[in-house]
């Protein structure tokens, strides 16, 4: 039976080969029949006439090759197979890329949220934060006067709505068995949440008229406070709570995670009376505005500048020189966070650079190692495009695996970061809870890493496939010109890796030393066995009641068992709070620049210095005898810093200073306390008797005989027994306070340390790769050297010397970068000079040691080169 | 055999037409087609034999020719034979008419008819 002619069925490889072979055979027969010599010559002639049979077969296959998808699948299969044959390369390259992509995406996503989008739940682009500044008097002020608020509200056309907020501290009175609670709150104009389009978890914003006196008995809770204090009960809505002794109806609970303007517990209406609205001179409001449709921030700024000029001409005494500046909402966060993010950004850019360089290096290494294979395949008829595609597919596979892993790293890193960001920082980065892997960052890093991998895979591919077969095969894999070039390029890349490593490593070392210094450093106050808390009396408490409370507290704590000393102070050191006061020295002209003298205003009880271990340097401390009655002298104790700065050449004892037109006599000088932490400069400090300068808000610091943490309840009870209306909050030990203060510094140190480990590993792996490859390539050379009498020692020092040379060049180049990075770190360094030579030397020594370690295995291999064997290979 | 100077390169795309035309006379194997083209053109046209095969397979994939392995008389083994399909005939007609048009057009440029 005759098979029918078939159409369009893909022929197999065998079929194609057979068809071609048949043709050659028939042609040879023809040639032979014409009598042109022997069979062998005839066959050769046939082959000549036919052309390259391998190419033809490949072209025929190409005709039938179905579609690019199948081709791709084939390439992928091939790539996976060949990667599985060299798992070391696949794993190293994948992990390197994953680190680079993961770290940079995570840090960018975090940084973007902290810097650009602190309030992801609000229409941030439409909102502005308006500061009032004076280039001369207060160039960095953030707050504005109520008069400025009124002026903006009445005159600004670029703003569709203007709202204001004022931070305050209140006590939430106990209900049932629950004790009084000290809460942080914002007083906000009733329209603020509406203008910010703030979402609510429960209820809604304030009624329109909540800003008028008598109608302000309402309160909004933050989500966290609602959960903490009211267990998230929906029944809290419309219930009444007592804040500072006044009843307030709960009208709403803000949505989860929304911390606008900052993370606080409660929000109450801000009541601005007509008198307030006319207040030009005290600037205490945070003002927010909603841009009118079509208005831009620069337009709002121009208009605000015009309004400022009008205000200045209307009331020159208070407003001349002051300018209202609407700023994007993302300006509403503190500078420390910006510095942190900037440091992270530089560190992570370096990690990304190291990862890319390393990926390039690995790509190069892989192609160099496969030059023989490539040359052979090219000679056997492999088309250049096809070979290049194989290698590219391989590189692409590695890139994709690295990218996938990197995305995982990024997601995990962001998750971990929101867990370890200290609360003190999180307060200024309310958007933190909403950080997700940023698409743009991911796209950028992916594109960068993949491009680099492919580029460096491709360049040598083109060269490798162009290298003549004879050169590669005859050279036994040894240095042809192109190969040498590849080795040199790899050496350059390794030098870059080492330079990056030293930059990041030295930054990590500086930050770690600085953080350690801060833990071990002496801030000038007792840190062990001290319990600290905030205490607040209800609003409206008279001066005499406050005075009475403080003296009874002082007396009461002397008899609490386990308490060695307890003192009241306005703000506890390291608490990140301080009260500024302006003072003057009678008979002394104002300073040339016109700025007043300021000091930290501390109102204390007699035992405060003893409780906190603050030494009295001269004169006396505050005593119980410093009373409020008219016969008693108004006295003040100052710190050493103030004594030596205000009276550089004289004894301050017995001199007077004036605060609010009242003279205070200096009776003592005490040792300096780093109130703002060791990282902050010293400031003037004035200690006065709480009896003579009473206040309703204070801190209480208790020095205990045993573990201060165990004293929480008895201390709380002791305060309640003095006055049950006194609210206690933020109770923690001084060590906890210190840890809270230092945690951001540890955070940077930890992150940069992690980065340092990554880049050092990358550098060591890169170095190992280059040295090992060099040894493999130069087996013959080493063998010749050994045959000519070089000892193993010589060989080892020859190979290790190469590693040390590369590292030294890298260290030398990186040192400059390290110094530049250190300058950026200066802002957060304590007790370590930014350009610390000891740190740099230590880090350099570490890297050189690591590089020698990386060279060990190749050295060992080099030493085992057998001259006779290698030369006869 | 003419010297290589007298040989002509095949015009782009004409190989397909030559193959189809050759197969008009009956099924043939690749070598037979090559030999036929060479003999009919008196070896003026150079066809690198190798280039014939991708072209054959391309035509087959397009459905213009069909193939089968068969043993020709006087041979012990099977060879791969190609024959024209109906679609191939139509394709050949289209190509031929296009070719004629092309030749006429070029001819008019090269040897213009005398003006009247």
The answer to whether residues A705 and A562 touch, using CB atoms and an 8 Å cutoff, is yes
- Count CA atoms closer than 13 A to A206's CA, side-chain side: 29
Nearest Cα of chain A lies from the Cα of B65 at a distance, in angstroms, of: 7
Residues of B in contact with A49 (CB under 8 A): 48-49
pLDDT band at A644 (very low <50, low <70, confident <90, very high): very high
- pLDDT for A618 equals 95
Q: What integer pLDDT is reported at residue A176 of this predicted model?
A: 46
Determine the average pLDDT of the residues in A533-551: 88
pLDDT at A547: 92
In the predicted structure, residue A67 carries a pLDDT above the cut 70: no
A569-578 as b/e: b if 16+ CB within 10 A: bbbbbbbbbb
CB–CB contact B31 A27 (8 Å): yes
**Of A57-71, A212-226, A633-647, minimum mean pLDDT range:** A57-71
In 3-state terms chain B splits into helix, strand, coil percentages (rounded to 5) of: 55, 15, 30
CA angle A223, A570, A585 (to 5 degrees): 135
The shortest C-alpha distance from A392 to chain B (Å) reads: 27
Res. A432: pLDDT tops 80 = no
Q: Do B31 and A22 touch (CB under 8 A)?
A: yes
The first and second tokens of residue A289, run together, are 């505005």
Q: Is the dihedral of CA A445, A447, A448, A450 positive or negative?
A: positive
| Residues of chain A contacting residue B46, judged by C-beta atoms under 8 Å apart | none
CB-CB under 8 Å, B83 with A3: no
Query: Is the Cβ pair A23, B70 closer than 8 Å?
Result: no
**pLDDT at residue A80 in the model:** 86
A165-169, A532-536, A865-869: which range is least confident on average? A865-869
Judge whether residue A170 has pLDDT over 80.
no
Q: Which H/E stretch holds residue B59?
A: helix B49-61
- Residue B41 DSSP symbol: T
Residue A5, helix vs strand vs coil: coil
Average pLDDT, chain A: 83
Contact A5 B79 (CB under 8 A): no
Q: Which of A3, A20, A30 sits opposite B53 (nearest CB)?
A: A20
Residues 6+ apart with CB under 8 A from A522: none
Look at the block and give the residue holding tokens 């300058």.
A823
- pLDDT for residue A318 is more than 90: no
Residue A800 in this model has a pLDDT that exceeds 90: no
Identify all chain B residues contacting A45, using CB atoms and an 8 Å cutoff.
none
Q: Decide if pLDDT at A633 tops 70.
A: yes
A-chain residue closest to B78, CA distance: A22
The CA distance from A806 to A804, in Å, is 5
A466 membership: H or E segment, kind and range: helix A439-466
The pLDDT assigned to A258 comes to: 83
Asked if residues A602 and A572 have their Cβ atoms less than 8 Å apart, the reply is no
Kindly report the number of other CB atoms within 10 A of residue A610's CB atom.
Answer: 16
Which has the minimum average pLDDT: A106-115, A517-526, B31-40?
A106-115
With 50 as the cut, is the pLDDT of residue A177 above it? no
Q: How many Å separate Cα A486 from the centre of its chain?
A: 37
- Tell me which chain A residue has its CA closest to the CA of residue B50: A50
A479 pLDDT higher than 50: no
pLDDT band with cut points at 50, 70 and 90 for residue A873: low
Residues β-bridged to residue A686: A601, A638
H/E stretch holding A848: helix A837-863
Residue A150, pLDDT > 80, answer yes
Q: Which of B34, B60, B79 is opposite residue A7, by nearest beta carbon?
A: B60
Chain A residue nearest residue B30, CA to CA: A23
Residue A662 burial by Cβ neighbours in a 10 Å radius (0-12, 13-18, 19+): exposed
Identify the weakest region by mean pLDDT among A465-474, A507-516, A625-634, B11-20: A465-474
Under DSSP, the state recorded for A682 is P
Contact B67/A52, CB-based, under 8 Å? no
CA distances from A479 to A368, A372, A469, A484, A806 (A): 10, 12, 14, 6, 20
Residues 6+ apart with CB under 8 A from A148: A132, A280, A283, A285, A287, A311, A319, A322, A324
Where residue A509 falls among pLDDT bands split at 50, 70, 90? Answer: very high
pLDDT for the residue A146: 92
Mean pLDDT of all residues in A445-455: 78
User: Measured between alpha carbons, how far is A182 from A194 in angstroms, rounded to an integer?
Assistant: 27
Is the bond preceding A543 in cis, omega lying within 30 degrees of 0?
A: no
pLDDT of residue A1: 41
- Report the relative pairing of strands A323-328 and A727-733 from DSSP bridges: unpaired
Indicate the length of chain A as a whole number. 873
- 7-66 in chain A: CB under 8 A from chain B: 7-8, 11, 15-16, 18-20, 22-23, 26-27, 30, 49-53, 55-56, 59-60, 62-64
Instruction: Determine whether the interchain pair B30/A23 forms a contact, defined as Cβ–Cβ distance below 8 Å.
Output: yes
Smallest Cβ–Cβ distance between B85 and the set A7, A62, A63 belongs to A7
Q: A483 with A463: CB under 8 angstroms?
A: no
Neighbours of B28 (CB within 10 A): 19
A747-785: pLDDT as tens digits = 778 888 888 988 898 888 888 878 887 787 777 788 888
pLDDT of residue A836: 85
Start-to-end CA distance of chain B, whole Å, equals 44
Backbone angles phi, psi at A654, to 5 degrees: 90, -10
Q: Which residue of B has its CA nearest to A28?
A: B31
How far, in Å, are A403, A495, A506, A821 from residue A757 at the CA level? 20, 17, 11, 17
Phi, psi values for residue A490, rounded to 5°: -65, -40
What angle, 0 to 180 degrees and rounded to 10, lies between the N-to-C axes of helices A335-369 and A87-115? 160
Q: What is the pLDDT of residues A780-790, one digit of tens each?
A: 788 888 888 88
DSSP state of A236: G
Closest CB to A63: pick one of B54, B79, B80.
B54
The rounded distance, in Å, linking the Cα atoms of A539 and A168 is 11
pLDDT at A563: 95
Q: List all residues of chain B from 2 to 61 with a beta carbon under 8 Å from chain A.
A: 27, 29-31, 34-35, 48-51, 53-54, 57-58, 60-61
Interface membership of B83 toward A (CB under 8 Å): yes
Give the pLDDT band of residue A676 (cuts 50, 70, 90).
Answer: confident
Per the CB < 8 Å rule, is A2 touching B70? yes
pLDDT at A425 over 90: no
**Torsion, CA A258, CA A262, CA A263, CA A269, rounded to 10:** -90
Which residue's structure tokens are 């740190």?
Answer: A839
How high is the pLDDT of residue A175? 52
pLDDT at A190: 93
- pLDDT of A255 strictly over 60: yes
Q: Are A678 and A529 in contact (CB under 8 A)?
A: no
**CB B57 to CB A50 under 8 A?**
no
Q: In the structure, what pLDDT confidence band is assigned to residue A254 with cuts at 50, 70 and 90?
A: very high
Q: Which of A164-178, A313-327, A795-809, B35-49 has the lowest mean pLDDT?
A: A164-178
Q: Choose the mutation target among A1, A11, A23 for the interface with B, i.e. most B CBs under 10 Å.
A: A23
Angle among Cα A824, A830, A836 to the nearest 5 degrees reads: 65
Q: Is the distance from CB of A148 to CB of A272 less than 8 angstroms? A: no
According to the model, what pLDDT value does residue A641 have?
Answer: 95
Least confident of A171-185, A345-359, A675-689, B91-105: A171-185
User: How does DSSP assign A635-672, residue by residue?
Assistant: EEEEEHHHHHHHSTTS--TT-EEEETTEEEEEEEEE--
pLDDT at B14: 83
| pLDDT for residue A465 is more than 60 | no
Query: In chain A, what percentage of residues exceed pLDDT 90?
Result: 30
Q: How many CB pairs under 8 A join A and B?
A: 78
Task: Give the per-residue pLDDT at A333.
Answer: 60
Mean pLDDT over A611-627 rounds to 94
Cβ–Cβ below 8 Å for B54 and A2: no
Contact A50 B31 (CB under 8 A): no
* Closest CA–CA distance from residue B98 to any residue of chain A (Å): 25
Tell me, rounded to whole angstroms, the distance of Cα A137 from its chain centroid. Answer: 33
Low-confidence ranges of chain B (pLDDT < 50): 1-4, 116
Chain A residues touching residue B60 (CB < 8 angstroms): 7-8
A322/A155 Cα distance (integer angstroms): 17
Are A56 and B31 a contacting pair at CB < 8 A?
no
- Rounded CA-CA distance B88/B98 in Å is 15
> Between residues 427 and 486 of chain A, which touch chain B (CB distance below 8 Å)?
none
Q: Which residue has the higher pLDDT, A516 or A2?
A: A516
Q: What are the residue ranges of helices labelled H in A34-145?
A: 39-50, 53-64, 68-85, 87-115
SS3 track for A311-347: HHHHCHHHHCCCEEEEEEHHHCCCHHHHHHHHHHHHH
Test the B interface: residue of A61, A63, A64, A67 with most B CBs within 10 Å: A63
pLDDT of A835 over the 60 cut: yes
- Contact check, Cβ <8 Å, B85/A53: no
CA dist A813 and A834 (Å) reads: 18
Residue B100: alpha-carbon gap to chain centroid: 15
Q: DSSP state, B5?
A: G
Burial class (CB in 10 A: 0-12, 13-18, 19+), A88: exposed
Residue of A nearest to B29 (CA): A23
């Amino acid at each position: 039976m005759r098979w029918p002619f078939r159409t369009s069925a893909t022929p197999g490889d065998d079929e194609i080969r057979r068809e071609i072979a048949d043709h050659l055979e028939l042609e040879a027969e023809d040639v032979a029949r014409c009598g042109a010599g022997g069979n062998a010559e005839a066959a050769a002639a046939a082959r000549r006439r036919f052309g390259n049979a391998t190419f033809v077969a490949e072209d025929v296959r190409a005709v039938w090759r179905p579609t690019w998808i199948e081709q791709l699948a084939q390439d992928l299969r091939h790539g996976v197979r060949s990667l599985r044959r060299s798992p070391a390369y696949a794993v190293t390259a994948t992990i390197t890329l994953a680190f680079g992509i993961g770290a940079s995406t995570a840090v960018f996503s975090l940084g973007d949220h902290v810097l650009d989008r602190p309030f992801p739940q609000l229409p941030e682009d439409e909102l502005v934060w308006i500061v009032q500044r004076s280039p001369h008097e207060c160039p960095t002020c953030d707050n504005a006067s109520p008069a400025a608020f009124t002026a903006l509200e009445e005159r600004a056309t670029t703003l569709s709505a203007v709202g204001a907020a004022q931070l305050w501290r209140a006590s939430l009175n106990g209900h049932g068995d629950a004790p009084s609670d000290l809460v942080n709150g914002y007083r906000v104009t009733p329209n603020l949440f509406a203008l910010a389009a703030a979402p609510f978890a429960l209820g809604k914003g304030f009624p329109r008229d909540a800003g008028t006196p008598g109608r302000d008995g309402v309160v909004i809770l933050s989500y966290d406070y609602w959960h903490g204090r009211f267990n998230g009960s929906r029944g809290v809505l419309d219930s009444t709570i007592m804040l500072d002794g006044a009843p307030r109806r709960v009208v709403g609970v803000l949505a989860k995670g929304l911390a606008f303007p900052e993370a606080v517990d409660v929000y109450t209406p801000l009541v601005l009376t007509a008198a307030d609205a006319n207040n030009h001179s005290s600037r205490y409001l945070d003002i927010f505005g909603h841009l009118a449709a079509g208005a831009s921030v620069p337009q709002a700024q121009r208009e605000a500048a015009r309004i400022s000029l009008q205000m200045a001409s209307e009331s020159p005494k208070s407003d001349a020189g002051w300018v209202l500046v609407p700023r994007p909402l993302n300006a509403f966060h503190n500078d420390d966070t910006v510095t942190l993010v900037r440091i992270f950004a530089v560190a992570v850019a370096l990690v990304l650079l190291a990862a890319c360089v390393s990926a390039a290096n690995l790509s190069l290494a892989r192609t160099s190692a496969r030059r023989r294979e490539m040359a052979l395949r090219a000679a056997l008829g492999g088309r250049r495009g096809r070979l290049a595609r194989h290698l590219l597919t391989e590189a692409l596979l590695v890139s994709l695996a690295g990218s996938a892993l990197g995305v995982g790293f990024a997601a995990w890193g962001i998750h971990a970061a929101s867990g370890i960001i200290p609360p003190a920082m999180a307060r200024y980065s309310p958007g933190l809870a909403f950080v997700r892997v940023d698409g743009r960052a991911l796209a950028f890093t992916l594109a960068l890493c993949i491009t680099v991998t492919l580029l460096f895979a491709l360049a040598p591919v083109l060269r490798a496939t162009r290298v003549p077969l004879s050169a590669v095969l005859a050279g036994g894999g040894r240095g042809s010109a192109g190969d040498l070039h590849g080795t040199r390029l790899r050496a350059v890349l390794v030098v870059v890796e080492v330079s990056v490593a030293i930059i990041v490593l030295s930054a990590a070392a500086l930050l770690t030393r600085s953080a350690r210094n801060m833990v071990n450093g002496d801030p000038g106050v007792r840190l062990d066995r001290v319990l600290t808390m905030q205490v607040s009396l209800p609003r409206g408490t008279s001066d005499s009641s406050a005075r009475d409370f403080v003296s009874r507290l002082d007396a009461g704590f002397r008899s609490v068992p386990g308490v060695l000393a307890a003192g009241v102070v306005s703000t506890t050191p390291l608490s990140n709070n301080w009260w500024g006061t302006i003072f003057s020295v009678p008979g002394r002209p104002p300073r040339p620049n016109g700025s007043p003298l300021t000091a930290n205003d501390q109102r204390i009880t007699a035992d405060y210095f003893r409780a906190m271990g603050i030494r009295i340097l001269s004169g006396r401390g505050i005593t119980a005898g410093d009373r409020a009655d008219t016969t008693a002298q108004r006295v003040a104790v100052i710190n050493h810093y103030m004594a030596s700065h205000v009276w550089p050449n004289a004894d301050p004892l017995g001199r007077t200073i004036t605060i609010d037109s009242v003279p205070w006599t200096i009776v003592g000088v005490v040792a300096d306390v780093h109130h703002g932490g060791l990282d902050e400069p010293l400031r003037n400090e004035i200690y006065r008797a709480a009896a003579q300068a009473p206040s309703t808000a204070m801190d209480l610091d208790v020095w205990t005989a045993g573990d201060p943490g165990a004293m929480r309840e008895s201390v709380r009870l002791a305060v309640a027994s003095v006055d049950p209306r006194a609210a206690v909050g933020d109770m923690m030990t001084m060590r906890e306070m210190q840890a809270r203060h230092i945690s951001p510094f540890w955070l940077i140190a930890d992150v940069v340390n992690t980065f340092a480990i990554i880049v050092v590993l990358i550098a060591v792996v890169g170095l190992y790769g280059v040295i090992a490859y060099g040894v493999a390539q130069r087996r013959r050379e080493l063998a010749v050297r050994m045959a000519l009498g070089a000892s193993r020692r010589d060989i080892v020092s020859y190979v290790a010397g190469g590693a040390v040379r590369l590292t030294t060049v890298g260290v030398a180049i990186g040192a400059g970068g390290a110094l530049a990075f250190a300058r950026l770190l200066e802002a957060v360094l304590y007790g370590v000079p930014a350009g610390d030579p000891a740190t740099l030397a230590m880090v350099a020594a570490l890297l050189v040691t690591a590089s020698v370690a990386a060279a060990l295995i190749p050295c060992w291999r080099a030493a085992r080169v057998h001259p006779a064997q290698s030369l006869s290979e | 055999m003419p010297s290589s100077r007298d040989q002509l390169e095949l015009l782009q795309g004409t190989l397909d037409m030559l193959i189809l035309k050759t197969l008009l006379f009956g099924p043939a194997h690749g070598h037979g087609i090559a030999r036929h083209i060479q003999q009919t053109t008196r070896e003026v046209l150079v066809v690198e034999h190798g280039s014939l095969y991708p072209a054959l397979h391309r035509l087959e994939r397009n459905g213009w020719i069909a193939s089968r392995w068969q043993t020709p008389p006087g041979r012990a083994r099977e060879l791969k034979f190609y024959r024209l399909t109906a679609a191939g005939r139509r394709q050949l007609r289209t190509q031929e008419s296009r070719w004629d048009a092309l030749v006429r057009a070029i001819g008019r440029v090269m040897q213009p008819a005398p003006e009247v």
